[in-house]
Amino acid sequence: ARMVNLKLFMGVSVGLFGFCLGLSYWDVVSLPEYTATMGYDKFAELMLQALFTSKLRIISVVCIAFCSLLAFGKLVQLLFFGRLRADESRKIHDRVLNYILFKIVFSGVILELLGWEDSLSCVLWFTVLGFLKIFTLLCNDRLSFLLTTANINTSRHIRIFTLLTIIFLSNMNWFMFCFHLFSTTLEVYMILTFECFILCLDTSQTIIKYLIFVVFKNHINWESQTKYMYHTELVTDTLGLVLTLAHYCQVIYMHGISFTLIDAVLFLNMRKVFNRLRQKINSYLNYRKLARAMDSVFPTVSRSDFESGAYEDFCLICRDRMNVGKKLPCSHVFHESCILSWLEQQNTCPTCREPLMTPTANGNEHDNAPPPHDVPENLRPLFQQPRNRFINWLPRVEVRAPAFNVTQEMVDAVREIAPQVPADVIRQDLEMTGSVNLTITNIFEGRVQIPEPVEEDEAPVHQASPTRSFSADRLEEEDIHGLSEEITRLESSMMDVPAGFGSSAADRQKRLEARKKALQQQSRLRYLKKLQERKEKEQKQNEQPESKHEPEESVREIISTCSHLEMNGNDLVPFSVEDPVEIRRRRALEAAERRRNQN
């Protein structure tokens, strides 16, 4: 639908421009100074003047220029990128929309400083900068995709690098053209050329990342590559955020505060940029602290621990086997290099999102304030405004969303792996995690409390209870006797977890499906072994009291039977009434011993 609307807009724009161009030609021909021998330069100047004599003609010129820019952008995409991925198309749409909306609001400040007669020059200036910026960010996205994909043709890298070089040189030339397009003061030049500096930082970041990739392409020590790329992004992003914050401060200083829409947008963007800058600095400080104290904070898991089955030897970050790993406080194990690369971006566990270290920012004593008591239980916190002593006078903002909706398909998926866990326990954990994989991990690692089966009393029950009780007893009996067969069957049909990274999307999808099935088999086997050990312990504990009290119960039963028969005068009594009591007791003990041996 979006493509149809774009084609319709381009068709209408071309038709309108053709109509206005015909009117302008008629006006030029009707001029007294027009002659058949008029030079081309003079004729073009008159046509250009005629195109800007009415609002309709100006609108047609703007529309055809916009359509030409779209066509040129499509040509650049086909030459350097080919077909865009769905994620890239979505990002381009969002970036273009945000850029246009912000520049529409921001252009009011610029035009107040330049004058409204320079409106077309201002539109031309920001349109070209936006065009270059969109393709720079698209190059960054495509390069990030190529760096994580194996067996990529070298020509694709060359095309991306060529486009980045063209954008970098075009940005420099457009920066110099600003001094010919506008005639204003130094402060206004700084506001106009701000996007040029940001574009230069973004282009330089992508080019440096590409050069790092080329240098470390044939090296085995790929951890250094990720470290250099991380510090490149850190320096360029931090510098860009600082320049953006200074740019907003300069705009407010020159424009003043008048409590209009422009001021509201500027303050909101300043707050957003400041929070991103603070978050990036705090993340870097936490990363440095964890990197320095890696051995003391995270214990090392050796190969013997993996072979004993205490931990899984499969790293969920790189999808490869581990000989030595680092254990996080939540008991998840990863490669040391993988967890360091993860800590460059996040300060939480990659699997369960548990924080690995408290934030370094000060003044968080208000963050731990208890929540209000009148909040419904079925609401979970979605967003909560951080508080500190500098902005404590602001009203507290908190957004809550309904609890996670757990479907029956999610419960069935978990019960397929762990059938012994009750459905209500699974549903309760799914409401907290919101993920089937996290719930399965919590079950196998013992973080989910599974209630023990309750023994039914001999009290009268309803009519449906005997059937339910019989089914439960039958299932319990089948579990006890069939666990060994099930474990043997799983061990014989165990699949190997494929390692490596596929060269194509279909190959990667097949590998992911195979890994999923293999991990499900391993998890089910581990669960069945734990269940077998628990059943064996329960069986031994139940047999010991029975064997302890069996002789006494047998003696009492035999003696009471003998006494009853003696009182009735039955001839089947094995010993006469005249036998002493000691002889009867000894014979009863011997009978009980024979009975126990037979059993």
For 280-322, write each residue's pLDDT tens digit: 998 888 878 877 777 677 888 888 888 887 788 888 887 778 8
Q: What confidence score (pLDDT) does residue 550 get?
A: 52
Q: What confidence score (pLDDT) does residue 131 get?
A: 93
Q: Which H or E run contains 510?
A: helix 505-568
- Does residue 149 have a pLDDT over 50? yes
- Does residue 18 have a pLDDT over 80? yes
**Residue 486, φ and ψ in degrees, nearest 5:** -65, -40
Which band of pLDDT confidence, cut at 50, 70 and 90, is reported for residue 260? confident
Share of the chain above pLDDT 70, in %: 72
For 420-461, write each residue's pLDDT tens digit: 788 888 888 888 877 777 788 778 777 777 776 554 444 444
Rg (C-alpha) for the chain, rounded Å, is 39
Question: Mean pLDDT across the stretch 519-543?
Answer: 79
Residue 539 buriedness (CB in 10 A; 0-12 / 13-18 / 19+) = exposed
**Residue 399, φ and ψ in degrees, nearest 5:** -115, 130
Cα Dmax for the chain: 157
- Does residue 159 have a pLDDT over 70? yes
Q: What confidence score (pLDDT) does residue 366 get?
A: 42
Neighbours of 439 (CB within 10 A): 29
Q: What confidence score (pLDDT) does residue 278 get?
A: 93
DSSP code of 348? B
Which band of pLDDT confidence, cut at 50, 70 and 90, is reported for residue 253? confident
- What is the average pLDDT score of the chain? 75
Residue in 109, 442, 77 with CA at minimum distance from that of residue 252: 109
Q: What confidence score (pLDDT) does residue 261 get?
A: 76
* 218 vs 366: which has the higher pLDDT: 218
Q: Which of 111-120, 572-581, 584-593 has the lowest mean pLDDT?
A: 572-581
* 124 vs 243: which has the higher pLDDT: 243
The highest-confidence range among 41-55, 381-395, 425-439, 479-493, by mean pLDDT, is 41-55
3-class SS of residue 400: strand
Question: Mean pLDDT across the stretch 404-410?
Answer: 77
Q: What confidence score (pLDDT) does residue 3 get?
A: 52
Question: Mean pLDDT across the stretch 399-417?
Answer: 71
Which band of pLDDT confidence, cut at 50, 70 and 90, is reported for residue 129? very high
Q: Token pair of 469, please?
A: 């009780």
d(CA 235, CA 205): 9
For 567-577, write each residue's pLDDT tens digit: 444 444 444 44
Residue 20 buriedness (CB in 10 A; 0-12 / 13-18 / 19+) = buried
Residue 72 is which amino acid? F
Query: Going by DSSP bridges, is the β-strand pair 398-402/379-384 parallel, antiparallel, or unpaired?
Result: antiparallel
Q: What confidence score (pLDDT) does residue 134 get?
A: 94
Residue 449 is which amino acid? Q
Q: What confidence score (pLDDT) does residue 52 get?
A: 83
Q: Which of 40-54, 338-352, 391-405, 520-534 has the lowest mean pLDDT?
A: 391-405
pTM exceeds cut of 0.85:
no
**Residue 333, φ and ψ in degrees, nearest 5:** -120, 135
Q: What confidence score (pLDDT) does residue 272 get?
A: 92
Q: What confidence score (pLDDT) does residue 545 get?
A: 57
